[in-house]
Amino acid sequence: MKMRFIRLKLDNFAGIATGHVEFGPGLNILYGPNELGKSTLAESIRAVLLMQSTSKAHEPWVRWNTDETPQVELVFQTDEQRYWRVKKSFG
């Protein structure tokens, strides 16, 4: 099965207060200087797809300056007219 990411949204996830990424068709490349959050975006995708929302592994993603719950939403497409949305709050 082929899967295409459409949109990623983060709230209070690690060092990212709020973030929104729209993926285009084909290959998408994240680039930039160190410490901008590229690895955090990749980690958030792994978390929303593979981790249970109650897992203790979420603790490093809690931002230091807030009590807000880390949240990730991923929208992806599997067929031409089939879209899926996965949304998780961790903690």
Q: Considering the chain, what is the average pLDDT of its residues? A: 91
pLDDT of 58 reads 81
* Residue-level length of the chain: 91
What is the arithmetic mean of pLDDT over 31-53? 92
84 pLDDT tier (thresholds 50, 70, 90)? very high
What is the arithmetic mean of pLDDT over 39-59? 90
Residues 6+ away with beta carbon under 8 Å from 9: 19, 20, 21, 72, 73, 74
pLDDT of 72 reads 97
Give the burial string for 43-76 (b: 16+ CB within 10 Å, else e): bbbebbeeeebeeeebeebbeeeeeebbbbbbbb
